[in-house]
Structure 1
């Protein structure tokens, strides 16, 4: 079980997030704690009034909402409602929220079973429940105890990729609820899991989910207020439809809010730099001759995506590495000067020159044809020109083959003829 706790300052926004899921047929309110009637008899106004009334007992508490999600392993999709309610109740008791009013929602809009619990941190006596280090001090011990008591799959054993939401589909028509939800799922997953320190680094990950964050025009209201616009992308990476403002999402991921993460992530990711560096070094060492598209493919096998930025002529001028194992994002030059896009481009460009002298040792004619067919998006016009030039010299390269090898081929043909 994975527990995530978020705080906020709008009871209405927290409630609306879950209630809208119910309207869309993607959630149901399955239980409550410390409300006057059962969950199935509670109206929206009753839920809102109960929470707001208690929060007014201490209006000095600005971040008064607590939104919790308990996420289970996909193999636990058949957990009955009664067991989910027991788990939720036990968890709330263990983290010190057993006497607080709370609502339990079961969501069915992701690849793994999960519930949301909405509550407040103002008590009946007006005192505030301290949230500092609640995750480490209370939630983690509670999570482990509940896993043991209810025989749940332990968080440490869950495969992280199973919590990865589906990318925004090209076929989804922008403007429909499904599109907004898909963007929000991908956005929440990336922001809460990956360590990025700038907007371009964030976009390097988001684009893998067909999403892009945009500051808007320089003089726009969005830019002036440090907001952000989020676009859906099609399969070619082109923006489609009308962008959605950060303020329309539950967590409101504005630039101002993300900048706080930039600072925190800079410290968190430092120990992860060496893995990307070593991966690149190992690929270059293993391959005497390698070009950029192949470097990208081999890093992908190591769990590292390479997001390249190219100009109109196809020249690569920027590279960002997304390490899915450590969940860290680094611009190439941030790892070291020798890992910048220019340095890697020059190394791989030099390898194309080497091919002229070592063609038959490195790549076949079919290999080069596949490079142009499959990897042309990663090759500059100059690179493609060099490969075409090599292809035009294919026949002449056989002149360099060992004579004994040619004799062996003739003998085989002769035997087949007999």
Structure 2
């Protein structure tokens, strides 16, 4: 799975927070001037930011990749890092800085890769249809090279109900409000394909969080602002709302509207793909 974004801070934050709570481990740092053990959060981040500064016209300069394996496979950190290196090389990101995180929060082995697509000469690596053009062929080659269970052969059970991902619901008074809301936002904003505020709130509400533009007469609404609120067990707001601009990743209305447009495009592409598949199957 490949996701692109304009917020390297948010994606790096997401993976590093997983490390902090013992649900992930950074197992590899490629094309960094220091060894992994010597890299701080700031040095990891700055490597990406310096490249991003070389092309400020690029709206999406961050790439977040998830490599998923069959539950029967139990690979060592060294093998996962080698698989990640091979994948990134075939994807055209072999010379880019990237971080590999092994995650332990799901029923199957998987790792996340964080990188960007701005090269040392300031040129972008094309992200258009990257999954179809390069990722799929790379996956098939890597399955052969490393003797992995093939994706097409897996018996996957699709789950159609909307269930919370592996972060706890926010409980007012149990933790500092801003920190608790931020933890939910860092995961939900990048892991779901919502294309409107109601769709986003359908997910956020699962964690007792709500994004609110305010009433049409309110100053928040008139200034295109956005507030994040904690909900109690009756789904009613509780405590003091927090402005979107106060969060480190700045999940403002403007930021969300860009996500809405990008996700709507992905949805349309998905619908077209399904229609074509059905047409081929029945005609």
What's 1:99 paired with? 95
Deviation at 1:178, TM superposition (A): 6.0
Q: Which residue of 1 aligns with 2:228?
A: 229
In the superposition, the TM-score normalised over structure 2's length comes to: 0.70
Any idea what the Cα deviations from partners look like across 1:301-359, whole Å, max 9, x if unmatched?
xxxxxxxxxxxxxxxxxxxxxxxxxxxxxxxxxxxxxxxxxxxxxxxxxxxxxxxxxxx
> How far does the alpha carbon of each residue in 1:70-101 deviate from its partner, in whole angstroms, 9 at most, with x for none?
2345554x432112101211110111001111
Structure 2 distance, partners of 1:170, 1:62, is: 32
Matched, 1:175 2:171: no
- 8 Å contact kept, 1:4–1:68: yes
Partner of 1:33: 30
Do structure 1's residue 143 and structure 2's residue 139 form an aligned pair? yes
Deviations 1:212-238, CA, capped at 9 Å, x for gaps: 43223442436623535254453x434
Higher alpha-carbon Rg: 1
- Distance change (3 Å), C-alpha of 1:249 and 1:84: farther
Q: Which residue of 2 aligns with 1:53?
A: 50
| Partner residue of 1:214 out of 212, 222, 241 | 212
Q: TM-score, normalised on structure 1?
A: 0.51
**Aligned partners of 2:202, 2:145: CA distance in 1, in Å?**
41
**CA RMSD in angstroms, aligned pairs only:** 3.9
**Cross-structure match for 1:120:** 116
Q: Displacement, 1:102? A: 1.2
Instruction: Tell me the residue number matched to 1:5.
Output: 3
**CA gap 1:264/1:20 in 2 versus in 1, 3 angstroms:** same
Q: Which runs of 5+ in 2 are unaligned?
A: 273-283
Distance apart, 1:107 and its partner CA: 3.0
Shift of 1:24: 3.7
8 Å CA contact 1:71, 1:113 repeated in 2? yes
The structure showing larger relative contact order (alpha-carbon pairs under 8 Å, at least 6 residues apart) is: 2
Q: Where is the helix percentage greater, Structure 1 or Structure 2?
A: 1
SS in structure 2 opposite 1:161? coil
Deviation of residue 33 (structure 1)? Answer: 1.4
Q: Deviations over 1:383-406 (max 9, x none)?
A: xxxxxxxxxxxxxxxxxxxxxxxx
- Give the equivalent residue in structure 2 for 1:16: 13
